[in-house]
Amino acid sequence: MTVTALEKELKNQNLASIYLLYGKESYLLESCLKKIKRIFGNLQDGLNYIKIDNTNVDMLISELQTPPFGFEKKLIIIKDTDLLKKQGKKKNQAVVEQVQKVSSYIGENIDDIKEQNVIVFIEEDVEKNELYKLLEKVGVVCNFEPEKVLDIAKRMRYICSAYNVNIDNYVLNYFIESCGTNLQDLINEIRKLIEYVGKDGTIKKEDIDALCIKQFESVIFDLTDSLGQKNVKKSLEVLKNLIYAKEPIQKILITLYNHFKKLYIVKLCEKEKQDVLENLKLKPNQTFLVSKYKKQASYFSEEALRNVLFKLIELDENYKNGNIDLNIGLESVICGYCS
């Protein structure tokens, strides 16, 4: 089941008996879990509300067997256990046996389990083992993948309209590009902007620049833009702001190197007429970055990009050998290119 379909079911107060919710979009996952709890009703911890993790996973079958004394059903949350977690090639035999035991019990007693319980398995990553296949067959399985930019934009626009606040498409896209695609972070930032402009107000680009916490990668884009335009003052200012924000200098160096490497790949792809998206290996919710990388790559020649990469590699080597301070070295690379 898709996230949208699950949200619709929960909005209509339709509660299934068995769920497997997994994926990296934790905000939407937790939001759906809260709705499940709200629909379920009054929760009494230890009585009709049971939490299972790796410390007490051995109690799962016992809890499934125990009737919900005094209540119609029990809500059992099974979170971050080894039952569905991805394992390496050398599988833990004890875990394998436990998975088989739980799968067998649920499969053989599914009607009783559904009559007495609502059970929710929650994981970040899952292995499609026999338990997964069983849950897929008897329950609702939903993968909370990071959403695409278009879907994220719809959610942000919906929040703005709920508070009678306006935001145009260009500013909304700039907001997502600046603050990333993590929904929890974006919701925090959009609420800040809504409070600032007030009812019937309009969010503008300068409001985002003044108030929002920009994603680290977005600031690297700003730094590279300044370098491409050979604006040494602005480049050094962005670098100093990163250091002032307590970003580790080694992280800045590595991220800057990886960024220029991507620009170099874009340049080669355009030269050889190859697919940029495929070669950059971007995630589905990062496809909007292709146009940004292409625009930035246009500021530099192939030779200039190659020289910057060599300078950053040389700086890393000199730093590790104790020959130069990394902060001074980065400023030197910036000034050297801009000159």
What average pLDDT does range 202-226 have in this prediction? 86
Whichever domain contains 272, its CATH number is: 1.20.272.10
What average pLDDT does range 194-218 have in this prediction? 89
pLDDT, position 88: 65
Mean pLDDT of the chain: 88
Residue that is last in its domain, among 143, 170, 202:
143
Same structural domain, 78 and 168: no
Distance (Å, rounded) from C-alpha 327 to C-alpha 242? 11
Residue that is last in its domain, among 188, 211, 234:
211
pLDDT at 268 > cutoff 70:
yes
**119 in Cβ contact with 148 (< 8 Å):** no
pLDDT at 16 > cutoff 80:
yes
Same structural domain, 133 and 260: no
Same structural domain, 160 and 291: no
Same structural domain, 123 and 24: yes
* Two tokens, residue 181: 């695609």
pLDDT, position 89: 66
How many domains are contained in the chain? 3
pLDDT, position 236: 86
Same structural domain, 139 and 170: no
Same structural domain, 119 and 157: no
Ranking 100-109, 216-225, 250-259 by mean pLDDT, the lowest is: 216-225
Residue 279: what are its φ and ψ, rounded to 5°?
-75, -30
List pLDDT tens digits, range 174-201: 999 888 888 888 999 999 999 999 999 9
List pLDDT tens digits, range 50-68: 999 988 888 999 999 888 8
- In DSSP terms, 18 is beta-bridged to 119
Same structural domain, 120 and 238: no
* Two tokens, residue 1: 């089941």
Predicted TM-score (pTM) of the model is 0.69
Distance (Å, rounded) from C-alpha 81 to C-alpha 65? 19
| CA-based nearest residue to 78, from 17, 22, 122, 21 | 122
| CA-based nearest residue to 228, from 290, 306, 304, 280 | 304
What share of the chain in percent tops pLDDT 90? 39
Whichever domain contains 44, its CATH number is: 3.40.50.300
Same structural domain, 187 and 235: no
Whichever domain contains 196, its CATH number is: 1.10.8.60
Sort strands 18-22 and 74-79 into parallel, antiparallel or unpaired: unpaired
In eight-state DSSP terms, residue 284 is G
pLDDT, position 106: 92
What average pLDDT does range 8-26 have in this prediction? 92
pLDDT at 287 > cutoff 80:
no
What average pLDDT does range 84-111 have in this prediction? 83
Same structural domain, 159 and 236: no
Q: How confident is the model at residue 156 (pLDDT cuts 50, 70, 90)?
A: very high
pLDDT, position 5: 92
The range of the structural domain enclosing residue 107 comes to: 3-143
What average pLDDT does range 237-256 have in this prediction? 85
Distance (Å, rounded) from C-alpha 120 to C-alpha 118? 7
Residue that is last in its domain, among 211, 232, 250:
211
**147 in Cβ contact with 183 (< 8 Å):** yes
pLDDT, position 283: 72
User: Higher model confidence: residue 286 or residue 124?
Assistant: 124
3-state secondary structure of 145: coil
pLDDT, position 68: 85
Same structural domain, 60 and 127: yes
Residue 42: what are its φ and ψ, rounded to 5°?
-60, 125
Same structural domain, 238 and 305: yes
Same structural domain, 98 and 157: no
